[in-house]
Amino acid sequence: MRNEEILYERKRADMVKRQIESRGITDKRVLAAMAKVPRHKFVSEAMWDQAYSDYPLPIGEQQTISQPYIVAEMTQALELTKDDRVLELGTGSGYQASILAELVFKVYTIERIYALYVKARKLFDNLKYHNIVTKYSDGTYGWESEGPFDAIIVTAGAPSIPQVLLDQLAMHGRLVIPAGGKQSQELIKLYKDENGIHQTNLGGCRFVKLVGEYGW
């Protein structure tokens, strides 16, 4: 292994221990994925030394890659198993999708900004994430032809929870979405079963806007 890779592997182990395990994330598969995916590759080279810090970073086009802890918290909340098919809205850098790709059978991810979509697609190919399917469009419509999904994750803040996404959620499916105002939101988890939709609030958060038909 090259020296640089050893350095980043150490930084990742440290990130998992100090930022993620210490704040109560216990899902072993999630911790292993966070320790494995090379987060620095998802930001510009000028920011590689900050890639494992405890905050979000800019990824261009006025968008951001979430803080590592938020990625871990949302991923754990999805309660993923290896046969799951997951839909993500807001590909961004592709980091969250790559974490998901480590944990499930197939990831479907949608991005509305062309430059980010192209960049993430190339990165998935370079890193050999062959189980990630990408799409350039307004994700607030979901991806009906590929649904229903075992889990859906929205990585941009929505004004409310789009009904189409609930419709594309499989029985016993989980949806995690930041919903609320333009500046700050609540992280909401929804679970679908025979009795309907069950909602839990995971706490306050700050995401960039979900822009589109059922967004802002």
The site for ligand SAH (CB under 6 A) is made up of 59, 63-66, 89-90, 92-93, 95-96, 110-113, 116, 138-140, 155-156, 208, 210-212, 215
Nearer to ligand SAH, 190 or 210 (CB): 210
Nearer to ligand SAH, 66 or 198 (CB): 66
Classify 189 in phi/psi space as left (phi over 0), alpha (psi -120 to 50) or beta.
beta
Q: Is 161 in a helix, a strand, or coil?
A: coil
Cis peptide bond prior to 148, omega within 30° of 0: yes
How many other CB atoms are found less than 10 A from the CB of residue 205?
19
Nearer to ligand SAH, 89 or 103 (CB): 89
Output phi, psi for 10, to 5 deg: -65, -45
As given in the structure block, the two tokens for residue 154 are 């929205």
Shortest separation between residue 49's beta carbon and ligand SAH, angstroms: 18
Shortest separation between residue 1's beta carbon and ligand SAH, angstroms: 25
Shortest separation between residue 194's beta carbon and ligand SAH, angstroms: 30
Q: What is the distance between the alpha carbons of residues 200 and 216, in angstroms, rounded to a whole number?
A: 23
Q: Which residues have a catalytic role annotated? A: 66
